[in-house]
Amino acid sequence: MARNIMKVKETKDRYDVTYMAGDDSGFDMMEGALLVLEAMNLPINWHRADLGWCMWEKSNKKFGEGDPRCNTVPPETIKSIRDTDATLMAAITSKAGVKGFKSAILQMRQLFDLYINIRPAKKLPGIGTPLAKDPDIDIVMFRENTEDLYAAVEFFPLPKEMFDLHKGMDRFREGKGDVAVSWRVFSEQGCERIIRAAFEYAKATGRKTVHCGNKANVIRQTDGMMKRKFLEIAKEYEQYGIKAYEENADATAMWLIKNPQDYSVVVASNVFGDILSDEASQLTGGLGFAPSGNIGVDAAIFEPSSGSVPKYAHQYKVNPSAMIMTAKMMLEYLGLDEDAAKIEKALGEVLVENKPGTLTYDVLRDFRGDPDWEKNAASTIEMATAIAQKLNPEFKGEKLEAAKEKVHKMCAWDEASLIGFAD
């Protein structure tokens, strides 16, 4: 039997895990998440790696602008991801219009063929939805992560001979100025494996429906393939009582708002999944709470869906929840399901108790309606401490201070602490 790709390759007594604090507020989030994990005594050896804008700057300084070795991902990081059992990654910073700059996470998705992007959107206790009926939401999105418009096969301006490839290009030949084309590439393998991953997940977790959002009604070849494969594979899972629904992705976007409780597992191609997963996360607290996992055969990188909030970098203002829930997903991947469940429970309790000094500004502002949210906001570390103490009431005094110092060092962001490009 094929191995369960949603779980680590090999069960071990202790795991080696790479952590990457990313950029800007990513460091703060990672520090908060590691503090929570410190309270739990987990069987994990941590290995630091770095990537993102900080590495782009470092490589430019070292090799000089325009040098082909400049990158957001140093070789050391690639090696660490390859050599460890799983990777926990914080948010990174991207800047548009920088020549030669390539997103670190997009590179990792291609390099390690991380074809599953799993994005849960689950209503947390104490975090309401923006919807009037406040429905129960527990959606797990399976976004294809390597193909589609993310294949990066693009042309500008379109070479002359390309106009001859399809008669549909005739109307773009004259009078329209330059033409840009991005290929939307779907492969049978690509469709099949993401659809299978979604159904296998439903089967393993007892979920009873899988929806596939596509646009086969218009985009005949690519989405047509997705729809065909979906219906084909769905038949194999009927015996497990799993119902399959194939629908137009725009309708999915609408129904997610109207009746989110009707969705459980959703599978979509890369671009549609990118959009639908942000939408689903917004129904359950927004990106500040949304975790995700990029999973392939040989590596798994767990990252929050939130951005790196550069304006608050190193000020410990950001909500650590997305990072903490991301760590929770990683623990599930490692088979540490009980620990994972405890983390979610602890976070829920802190959110519900709503004690002074335990919730970050965004929670007070967006979910508690506190007009003094700025003044009353807890720091990233304070919120993480509250969660850590739910997990382990003994986590206080010297023990807590020592753990804080440890994780602070683990996430040091000064130039000398960044690992990579052989230093």
**What are the residues binding ligand IPM (CB under 6 A)?**
103, 106, 274
- CA pair distance 400, 389, nearest whole angstrom: 9
Nearest distance from C-beta of residue 325 to ligand IPM, angstroms: 15
Nearest distance from C-beta of residue 51 to Mg ion, angstroms: 18
Nearest distance from C-beta of residue 143 to Mg ion, angstroms: 9
Nearest distance from C-beta of residue 101 to Mg ion, angstroms: 18
Instruction: Give the residue with the Cβ less far from ligand IPM, 147 or 274.
Output: 274
Cα atoms found within 13 Å of the Cα of residue 391, Cβ hemisphere only? 29
Binder of Mg ion out of 50, 274, 303, 339 (CB under 5 A): 274
Which residues, 6 or more positions from 397, have their beta carbon under 8 angstroms from its beta carbon? none
Residue 144 engages Mg ion in binding (rule: CB under 5 A): no
Nearest distance from C-beta of residue 103 to ligand IPM, angstroms: 5
Nearest distance from C-beta of residue 133 to ligand IPM, angstroms: 28
- CA pair distance 338, 321, nearest whole angstrom: 18
Buried b (16+ CB within 10 A) or exposed e, 196-223: bbbbbbbbeeebeebbbbbbbeebeebb
| Whole-angstrom Cα Rg for the chain | 22
Residues facing 62 on adjacent strands: none
Partner in contact with 103, chosen from ligand IPM, Mg ion, none, beta carbon below 5 to 8 Å by kind? ligand IPM
Binding span for Mg ion by CB under 5 A among 61-69, 178-186, 273-281, 400-408: 273-281
Nearest distance from C-beta of residue 117 to ligand IPM, angstroms: 7
Nearest to residue 348, comparing CAs of 289, 405, 399, 300?
A: 289
Q: Are 157 and 313 in contact (CB under 8 A)?
A: no
Binding span for Mg ion by CB under 5 A among 119-127, 185-193, 267-275, 393-401: 267-275
Partner in contact with 42, chosen from Mg ion, ligand IPM, none, beta carbon below 5 to 8 Å by kind? none
Nearest to residue 113, comparing CAs of 297, 301, 333, 302?
A: 297
Residue 303 engages Mg ion in binding (rule: CB under 5 A): no
Residue 148 engages Mg ion in binding (rule: CB under 5 A): no
Two tokens at 256? 């997610």
Partner in contact with 76, chosen from ligand IPM, Mg ion, none, beta carbon below 5 to 8 Å by kind? none
- CA pair distance 334, 328, nearest whole angstrom: 10
Partner in contact with 38, chosen from ligand IPM, Mg ion, none, beta carbon below 5 to 8 Å by kind? none
Two tokens at 107? 């590179």
# residues near Mg ion by CB under 5 A: 1
Two tokens at 292? 């995700």
For binding to Mg ion (CB under 5 A), which residues are involved? 274
